[in-house]
Structure 1
Amino acid sequence: MIAGAFDIGGTSIKYGVLNEQGDILFKSKTPTKAKEGGKAVVGQVIELTKSLQKDYQLDGIAISTAGQINSQEGTVIFATDSLPGYTGLNIKKEVEKVFDLPVVVDNDVNCAAIGEYWLGAAQGVDQFLCMTLGTGIGGAIVINGQVYNGEAYSAGEFGHMTLYPGGYPCLCGDEGCYEQYASSKALEQRAQHALEQSITLPELFDKARAGDKLSESIIEQWIDDVALGIKSLVHIFNPPLIVIGGGVSEQGDYLLDKLQRRVEARIMSSFQKPLTIKFAKNGNDANLQGAVRCLSLPEFCREDG
C-alpha cells in the first residue's frame, strides 16, 4: 500500500507519501489557506493529492487534522477560529468526491499517538496518554492499543481542564484553561512579557542553559503549570507512560528531567513507580504515520474498528 498523507494545521499542511511500513518516501509542507475557509483548505489537499499522483500510484488518502473529528464519518465536529468555516465540514466526503480511493480522517493528536505507538516512543505500551504542547494543548488517550474517542469523538481535550478558575480567557469560552498557562504559546508569551522583548523558545532555552537566571525562572514557572495539569491526568488515568510532543520536545533531557522531577513531586507516591514521561520520537512525522496506520488498520484508531 502506498498512501498520500496529510497533516492539516492552522499554519501549515505537512504532507507526504508513505508505504504500509510507515516509511516516508516523500514529504513537504505548504502554508494553510486558513483565512480562505475550510473548503479552501480541503481544496488544497485535493490539489496536493493530484500532484502526488503524478509520481506515485496512491492506494488511499490519510488525513490528520486539527479539530475535534468524527473519525467514522470524517466530519469536523468543532474547530476554533484558527480554521474558520471548518466546523461541520465532511472532509472525507469532499475528498472522496474527487478520488476513487479510501479516505480516513482523524484528529492530529490521535494520529500522533498512533504513530508513536506504532513506530515511536510508545512502542510496546498498550496504555498511555499523548499530549502536544503547541499553540494550544491537545491530548489523546490510548487504551488496550486503541484510541479512546469518547461518546462524541471529542475525548482528550486536556488543554481545557481548568487550571486556575477565573484566570486568563480561553478560545473555548471559559477562563483559566490549562493551555492558557502550559502551552508553548503560553511560555513564549510569558517570556516576552518578562524579558520585555520578542524572543523565540529556542532562544529562551539557550539563555537559560547559558545561566541567565530570569530565563531559567520563566521556564521553571511554566514547568510548574505543565506539571500541575499532568498531576490531574495521572491521578485520573494512572498511565504507565505519557508521551509529549510539540516544539518544546526538541529541548531534550534539559527539559524532560525538570518536568519528570516536578511531576513526581506533585503526584501521590503510589502513582510514581509505574510512570514514565517521554518526548515524542518522530515529531510531525508521527501524525502522518498514524494517519496511514488508521488507513491500513482502522481498528487501531476506532474502538469499533
Structure 2
Amino acid sequence: MSILGVDIGGSFIKFVAKSGKDIKKGKIPTEKSFTSITGEVKKLIKNFHPEILGIGIAGLYDKKSGRLVVSPNIRFLEGIEIKDIFESEFNLPVVIENDASAAAYGEFRYGAGKDSQTLICLTLGTGLGGGAVINGELLSGVSGCAMEIGHITIDTGGWRCHCGRKGCLEAYVSSYGLERFYFFLTDQKLSSSEIITLANEGKLEAIKAVEEFSRYLSIGLMNILHIFNPDKIVIGGGIPEYYPAVIDLARSNLKKIAFELPFRDVSICRAKLGEYSGAYGAMALAEKEKKR
C-alpha cells in the first residue's frame, strides 16, 4: 500500500511517501497559486502512485463542509471547498487536516511523541500553531479547528496579532513576535533568523529578545499544562531548531509559574521530525483512514 502525505505551505510543499517500510521525503518550492500547487501534487502522485492522499494545510479547515475558511499564507484557497476540488483534481480519496494538528499526529506516530498518552505539539514559525493527540486520537474539535493555541488572549490591550485581535499569544511567540522584541530593544528591524544568528554569536540584545520570547512561551506552556496535564509537549519550528536554548529558558520559567503537580509529570522537548512533521502526520492520517 502506497500512501502520500503533503504539507502545503505558502512557499513549499513538503511531502512524505510511504510504500511498505520504505519512506521518502522532500520539499518542492511552489508559487502562490492554485495551479502551481495542484500541478506539483499531481507530479508527486504520478511518481509515487498512492492509494490515498493526506494533506496538512495552514488555517481553519471546516471538516463539515470541506471548506478552507481562513488561511493567512494561502489566501487564494480561502472559501473554497478544497476537499471536493482536490479529490476531483487528483482522482484520489483525500484526508485534510490543519497543518499543526497534522504535525502533532506525525510526532506521535513517528517522532518525539511516541507512546505519549496526552501529547501537545507546538509549531513556532511565522505564526504559532498547536495540536493535541490524546490516547492515540487526534483532537480536532467539532468543526475541525481545535487547538488554535496561538489565539488564546494573554493581554487584552497587548500587541496586535496577524489575525487582527490584540494580545494573542502568537503576537509574542512567533517569528514576528521575536522581531518585535528585538525592535523594542534596539530600534532595529531584523528578521527572526538574523536575530537567532546574533543570539548564537552571543550578542546581548538578541539574547535579551530571545529571553523575552521564551518568557511569553512559558506563559503559553503554563496554560497548556493547566488545561491538559500532558505527559509530553513537543515544540517544533525554526526558532527552537536553530536556538535550542529557547526551550530550556521557557522550561526554567515555567517551573516558577506553573502548578507543581502537572509540571512534575511533563516532558518538554524539540520535535524530532523537524520541518517534515506535518507531512508525516498527513501521511499517517491518510494511512489510518485507508485501514478503516
Q: TM-score by structure 1 length?
A: 0.87
Q: Does 1:289 pair with 2:280?
A: yes
The within-5 A match list for 1:27-66 is 27-33=26-32, 40-41=33-34, 43-66=35-58
Match of 1:37 in 2: none
* 2:47 alignment partner, SS class: coil
Match of 1:91 in 2: 82
Distance 2:254 2:155 in 1: 18
Match of 1:36 in 2: none
Distance 2:279 2:64 in 1: 18
Aligned residue pairs, count? 292
Q: Does 1:241 pair with 2:232?
A: yes
Opposite residue 12 of structure 2, the aligned amino acid is S
Opposite residue 31 of structure 1, the aligned amino acid is T
Opposite residue 44 of structure 1, the aligned amino acid is S
Structure 2: tracts of 5 or more residues without a match: none
Match of 1:2 in 2: 2
Shift of 1:102: 1.8
**Conserved in 2, the CA contact under 8 Å of 1:127 and 1:143?**
yes
Q: Deviations over 1:204-260 (max 9, x none)?
A: 334334432222211111111111111111111111111111111213542222121
**Conserved in 2, the CA contact under 8 Å of 1:13 and 1:32?**
no
Distance 2:132 2:105 in 1: 10
Q: Does 1:183 pair with 2:209?
A: no
Match of 1:174 in 2: 165
**Conserved in 1, the CA contact under 8 Å of 2:117 and 2:231?**
no
Shift of 1:123: 0.6
Q: TM-score by structure 2 length?
A: 0.90
Q: Does 1:107 pair with 2:98?
A: yes
Match of 1:222 in 2: 213
Match of 1:70 in 2: 62
Q: Does 1:232 pair with 2:223?
A: yes
* 1:121 alignment partner, SS class: coil
Distance 1:210 1:260, change over 3 A: same
**Conserved in 2, the CA contact under 8 Å of 1:70 and 1:106?**
no
Match of 1:11 in 2: 11
Shift of 1:20: 5.1
**Conserved in 2, the CA contact under 8 Å of 1:71 and 1:104?**
no
Stretch of structure 1 that moved more, 82-91 or 159-168 = 82-91
Match of 1:128 in 2: 119
Shift of 1:71: 4.2
**Conserved in 2, the CA contact under 8 Å of 1:62 and 1:104?**
yes
**Conserved in 2, the CA contact under 8 Å of 1:20 and 1:296?**
no
Distance 2:162 2:245 in 1: 31
Distance 1:71 1:294 in 2: 14
The within-5 A match list for 1:138-177 is 138-177=129-168
Q: Percent identity?
A: 30
**Conserved in 2, the CA contact under 8 Å of 1:22 and 1:289?**
no
* 2:13 alignment partner, SS class: strand
Shift of 1:52: 2.6
Q: Deviations over 1:107-161 (max 9, x none)?
A: 1011101110011010111211111111111111211111111122111010111
Distance 1:64 1:71 in 2: 13
Distance 2:274 2:53 in 1: 20
* 1:142 alignment partner, SS class: strand
Distance 1:298 1:55 in 2: 22
* 1:250 alignment partner, SS class: helix
Distance 1:156 1:53, change over 3 A: closer
Distance 1:75 1:203 in 2: 37
* 1:197 alignment partner, SS class: coil
Opposite residue 110 of structure 1, the aligned amino acid is S
* 1:215 alignment partner, SS class: helix
Structure 1: tracts of 5 or more residues without a match: 34-39
